[in-house]
Amino acid sequence: MGTSATNSGKISVLFHYDDQTVKKRLNSEQLTALLGADLIFIDQFKEERKIDKKVWKSHVNGVELAIYLKQHR
């Protein structure tokens, strides 16, 4: 996903936990907060998850961020 006039400053973020994937579009403030976070709450996962790794992926349409999550406790 690249930036364009209609998507200025937004980036696609894919959250992976077990066999589930949730896609969100974040603005620069949300992305900055995410990059500094150790824990995150995604509604579909029902409880906080610990961020295991962050992987930037580039492709023909731009860049996206994949966040891999694991159990918090």
Residue 32 has pLDDT above 50, yes or no: yes
Q: How many CB atoms lie within 10 A of CB 14?
A: 15
Residue 10 has pLDDT above 70, yes or no: yes
pLDDT recorded at residue 6: 46
pLDDT recorded at residue 63: 87
CA angle 26/68/43 to nearest 5° reads: 55
pLDDT tens readout for residues 41-71: 999 998 999 999 999 999 887 889 999 999 8
Specify the length of the chain in residues: 73
